[in-house]
Copies of this chain bind each other. A is one copy, B any other.
Amino acid sequence: MSLLVTGSIGIDTVVSPFGRAEGVLGGSAVYFSYSASLFTPVRLVGVVGEDFPQAFRDKLIDRGFDLTGLETRAGSKTFRWQGSYEGAMNEATTLQTDLNVLGEAGPKIPTEFRDSRFVFLANTHPTLQRDLLGQLNGPEVVVCDTMNLWIDTERDSLMKTLSVVDGVVINDAEARSLSGQSNLVLAGRTILEWGPKFLVIKKGEHGSMLIMPDAVAVLPAFPTAEVCDPTGAGDSFAGGMMGYLASCGTLTAATLRSALARGTACASFAIEGFSLDGISRCQDGADVEARLADYRKVVQFD
């Protein structure tokens, strides 16, 4: 089933205890697409500047994304982010953000993409998320991300977006802040009252929680000693999850649980290398299933 993603496409500089990656490919929509494309064809919608390197464009083409929705805006510069990780590496310290083209008008959904059935709206202004959604011909499943900035400053608009999506994927701090509930199960129940059919809470090294109206699923992260660069882990998770869901074509408690596991596996690959190096080692769904075989042993008990 066709899967469309809108989000950032960026140039990152990342420092971690494992080294430094300067001017590398990044962005939420890119991380998402690398994982999602392991399961289903991906339609990538976003805007870059004139400075976006051809080598990065080639990478996106090589990975097989449909780039009809990738706009290269004349006179603009690509989004750039610099961050560092220390200690438990659970959270990035942002050293610099240059919004550049992301501070201008949003992307447009190409005509050819308007029939997309599964849609992921990566984090951006909630009004832009609804604007993008309005350009689509009634997709079946729409899932969005958001961030504390919008929870704090654009709450009314965000609530409108939440009322028109099927699912939400956010991290634990965002879930707490958005709901005003410290307990994550209560946070999830509160957010579901506002419209979504399901909420996924990303907990970094602690895994994820899926809250549905009448059930909760929790999966730990795949335990690894090789955490090189956590950048994009959450977007890789969302990509694996949505890619798997789109490949199933149905949104049920069972497919959501399975999708959560695929997201977990994809995120575990993503953090093993800088930029897209980790997830790039994963070439197809079989690689994901191989990791899931290891993962099943990790969570197994009698």
A→B interface (CB under 8 Å): 87-89, 176, 182-186, 189, 203, 205-207, 209, 215-221, 223-225, 227, 254, 257-258, 260-261, 297-302
Contacts and interface: CB of A to CB of B under 8 A. Distances in A.
A87 B183 CA distance: 8
Contacts of A220: 206-207, 209, 218-220
A183 B219 contact: no
Given A205-B184, A206-B207, A218 B258 contact: no
A190 to B, nearest CB: 11
A225 B186 contact: yes
26 contacts: A88-B182, A89-B182, A89-B183, A183-B227, A184-B205, A185-B223, A185-B225, A186-B225, A203-B206, A206-B206, A206-B207, A207-B220, A209-B220, A209-B223, A215-B297, A216-B223, A217-B298, A217-B299, A217-B301, A218-B223, A218-B299, A219-B220, A219-B301, A258-B301, A258-B302, A260-B301
A298 B258 contact: no
Count of identical protomers in the assembly = 2
Contacts of A297: 215
Contacts of A227: 183
Given A205-B184, A206-B207, A215-B297, A302 B254 contact: yes
A19 to B, nearest CB: 16
Nearest to A208: B220
A270 to B, nearest CB: 16
A201 to B, nearest CB: 10
Contacts of A209: 220, 223
Contact of A88 (B176, B219, B300): B176
A205 B209 CA distance: 12
A219 B221 CA distance: 10
A108 B275 CA distance: 58
Nearest to A89: B182
Given A88-B176, A206-B206, A206-B207, A223 B184 contact: yes
Contacts of A219: 220, 299, 301
Contacts of A299: 217-219, 299
A257 B184 CA distance: 26
For A185, A217, A218, A260, which residue has the most chain B Cβ atoms within 10 angstroms?
Answer: A218
